[in-house]
Chains A and B, each alone.
Chain A
Amino acid sequence: MKLTVNGIVREVGGSALRPVLSVLREDLDITGPKAGCQQGSCGTCTVLVDGEPRRSCLLPLAAADGAEITTVEGLGDARRLHALQASFHHYYGTQCGFCTPGMVIAAYALLQRNPSPSRKEIQHALGGHICRCTGYVKILDAVEAVARGEAFEEADRTHHPDPEEPEVAIKGAPA
């Protein structure tokens, strides 16, 4: 079976019923999506499947054969954060970080189909994602900031001030 993960075509095998989450984490070493509840309730394993946010823990491999998968690694890397990743950093939308991969992917999917959502619409889109640290307010602030077009380039550069600093390799991120 074949998955295109963050733009790279990967041949994958094993049981057709294995959840895509296990394939990503165990076979492909792409560990952005977390194995939380593994029953669809917590949201941290959320990835884009052909552009739609889906729980990778609920998705059998055979159901995703041939699909294009985007994980949080595919949105941006440590040097060039996606605006959402930079905003989560800037607004303290991440504390322990366990829920962040799913939150960012769900927020990305929302902004793709609705570039200027209301706070209520953001709440609705993130409704299936549990965070036990932030109390959600800072996460909503972070997504709202991106929705109103706030720029985060400066924040990114100060975080990685040395242009000669070697690239931080993030497995699963497209080259």
Chain B
Amino acid sequence: MEVLLPTTPAEAAELFGDGDRVTVVGGGTIVVPELTHGRLKPSRVLMLGNSGLDGLSRANGVITIGATCSVAALEEGDEPLAAAARHVADPEIRGQATAGGNLCSTAGAEVPRGDLQAPLIALGARVRSTGAGGERTEPVEDFLADGAGRLVLDIAYDDVPRTSAYASVSRPHAHHYTILAATATKADGTTRVAVTGAGPHGLRCPSVEAALADGKAAAEAASAVLGDVSPADDALASAWYRARVLPTVVARALADLEGSR
């Protein structure tokens, strides 16, 4: 097994190449247990810890989050991302886990993962990634639908005035496990809505957004969410439960959004 330790973003991109048979380790919180328990036997491992991809900046009207920026670093930042960051696991895990890792995490077999995906969608964030075909930048929702096998370089969203809301259902446990979360932002009269825990990754909710644009009230718009999601069973909740509860969670987020105007 070959372990690659890039020291610059450019070197990380070069070593990643087209990503063929490369396993990427950011903070290690997802990959290391897979290695420890022998479920993953990689041939090439790219460790990003010292790659200089950990930046977090606000410049020229854009907030840029580096791939290895820790989840903890986002806790005091812009909402609704900060609220979701505070809901990830526990303080130690948040210190080690990375934004890029969270973006790339697929739903676990036991619990949902990727708490930052929905708020990033709601913020209209874009992902810059490299891999087969070279570098590209695309909306988070497009990356989640079709970004497997790519190396995230950074995530960026516009620094514009907006209101936001975040509502979630957590399970009391040592870890904060988010069963479901709904998040929404409103900027310049446009509302964006996304949910966590109701599909293989964070999902944008175009039906809800369209209902709101049609002037529907929050509760009615929220009920449209079931057209946008594909909830599944896991150790925390059944698909049936998720489908029953999700419209209420979305309605709460939308009510908060109205209230925060």
Contact = CB atoms under 8 A, between A and B. Distances in A.
Interface of A: 15-17, 19, 38-43, 46, 52-55, 57-60, 62-63, 106, 124-125, 127-130
A106 B94 CA distance: 14
B32 A127 contact: no
15 contacts: A16-B5, A19-B32, A40-B29, A54-B92, A55-B93, A57-B33, A58-B33, A58-B93, A62-B3, A62-B47, A62-B49, A63-B47, A106-B91, A127-B175, A128-B93
B90 A127 contact: yes
Interface string B48-66: 0100000000000000000
Given A38-B37, A40-B33, A60-B47, A128 B174 contact: yes
User: Which 4 residue pairs are nearest across A and B when measured between Cβ atoms?
Assistant: A128-B90, A39-B33, A16-B3, A63-B49
A124 B91 contact: yes
A43 B174 contact: yes
Contacts of B235: none
B149 interface: no
Interface in B174-213: 174-176
Contact of A60 (B28, B95, B176): B28
Nearest to A129: B174
Given A63-B47, A127-B176, A52 B95 contact: yes
B96 interface: yes
A39 B108 CA distance: 13
B90 to A, nearest CB: 3
A125 B91 CA distance: 6
Interface string B82-105: 000000011111011000000000
B35 interface: yes
Contacts of B239: none
Central interface residue in B32, B37, B45, by most chain A CB within 10 Å? B32
B43 interface: no
B32 A58 contact: yes
A62 B5 contact: yes
A165 to B, nearest CB: 36
Central interface residue in B29, B35, B49, B91, by most chain A CB within 10 Å? B91
Nearest to A47: B92
B91 to A, nearest CB: 6
A39 B47 contact: no
B260 interface: no
